[in-house]
Structure 1
Amino acid sequence: MYEVIGNTQSRAFRVMWLLEELGQDYTHTPDKPSTGRAAELNPSGKIPVFCDGDAVLTDSTAIMTYLADKHGALTHPCGTVERAKQDALTHQILDEMDSVLWVATRHKFMLPEDKRVPDVIDSLKWEFGRNAARIAERFEGPFLMGETMTVPDIILTHCLNWAFGAKFPYDHENLLAYAKAMRGRDAFKAAVGK
């Protein structure tokens, strides 16, 4: 059985949601970073940690890509142009949205107080808004790549929800409607319920 280690207020949620979409059974160990099994299995203490038998994987995107490939769902096949476009979209979201939110989070409360630069937050909000506009322009609907839900849909929805909680504004009607529809998915709700 699969095990997802990490609290649901982290990127572990992405993995749980993907597993729910795939209809796969898993156990959830809600460790916070650097605690319990997370600290035991990942020397950095970062979450999520994912166990598939004796195999231990880290990084939410690597885990989701592994699972999507393994189960042949939520992804385009390796070696296809569609997969290359999917991977490019994944990296765009990670580089231009996830990383911006992560830097802001670190400067709000994670870094030691004397290392925080609160003044950077306004610049990061501007950058996030600009990057969200780029995603909104290329959005095909109903999913990012058209009719097929893929791994980047989970990453983007997680980032849009994170942005809402962090008060990082985006006002693109298509992204707002998309995020609402994605949160309405049964698999999303099942992962939230864990």
Structure 2
Amino acid sequence: MIKLYGAPPTRVLRVIWLLNELGQEYEIQPVDLLKGEARREGFLALNPAAKVPVLVDGDLVLTESAAIQLYLAEKHPEAGFIPESLQERAQMYRWIFFLMTEIEPPLWRIARHTFLYPQDRRLPQDVELAKRECREMVDVLERHMQGREFVVGDRLSVADFNAAYTLDWVDEEKLLDNAPRLRDYLQTMYARPTAPMRIAEAFAAMEG
């Protein structure tokens, strides 16, 4: 059985979503980052970067949430989450990379300088810069999604499952206020019966 290391609200949710969509059985191995469990010897043997998620599928050990999403979609082509045409695949990769390299990094900066770093290492001024940069990149995606149901083409692809989690994170930081199309898209995606819990739900469960 597939093993998935990590726990919500981390990017493990991206992988859970694909596994749910594909109807795959999997076993979650919780890893508490705040308790330093990702830096224990056993976990570092799986991922020396000390980050989640990690997927173990037979002999394959795979890290990086987007790479895992793409692997699962390619392993199950019958689901149709990888576009058939080269051009649409190229656009799928484009938007996945955009989400991971343009929208996600400022979100990480906000997280680091609000609660992850010790108080003496936090830079409040960087939080404001990161929010501005995130809004600018969200606006790019907002314009792209005008008149579109899906990120690429006329059906769901890996880009959509990547985007939904990323935009939920953006929403947690209250940075979707000027993106009505993306807010509607986010609600539609999370209305799917296979959608994982939202980030806010995961935080609430941790506090409860």
TM-score, with structure 2 as normaliser: 0.84
1:49 is displaced (CA, Å) by 0.6
1:70-106 per-residue CA deviation (whole Å, 9 max, x = no partner) reads 11131124x7111111101111111111111112111
Structure 1: runs of 5 or more not aligned: none
Structure 2: runs of 5 or more not aligned: 203-208
**Cα 1:100–1:39 shift into 2, 3 Å:** same
Say whether 1:148 aligns with 2:155: yes
C-alpha contact 2:176 2:182 (8 A) present in aligned 1: no
* 2:136 corresponding residue in structure 1: 130
1:46 is displaced (CA, Å) by 0.6
- Provide runs of 4+ in structure 1 moved above 3 Å: 36-40, 189-193
- Alpha-carbon RMSD: 2.1
Q: Distance in 1 between matches of 2:93 and 2:196?
A: 26
C-alpha contact 1:14 1:154 (8 A) present in aligned 2: yes
Q: Distance in 2 between matches of 1:38 and 1:74?
A: 30
Aligned residues: 192
Q: Distance in 2 between matches of 1:190 and 1:162?
A: 12
C-alpha contact 1:132 1:170 (8 A) present in aligned 2: no
Say whether 1:21 aligns with 2:21: yes
C-alpha contact 1:38 1:47 (8 A) present in aligned 2: no
* 2:181 corresponding residue in structure 1: 174
Q: Percent identity?
A: 31
1:130-178 per-residue CA deviation (whole Å, 9 max, x = no partner) reads 1111101111521111421111211211111112222334322211110
TM-score, with structure 1 as normaliser: 0.89
Corresponding residue to 1:46 among 51, 65, 68: 51
Corresponding residue to 1:186 among 184, 188, 193: 193
SS at match of 1:64: helix
1:114 is displaced (CA, Å) by 2.9
SS at match of 1:119: helix
Q: Distance in 2 between matches of 1:113 and 1:167?
A: 22
C-alpha contact 2:3 2:26 (8 A) present in aligned 1: yes
Within a 5 Å distance, the mapping from 1:1-194 to structure 2 comes to 1-33=1-33, 34-35=36-37, 38-72=43-77, 73-77=80-84, 80-139=86-145, 140-189=147-196
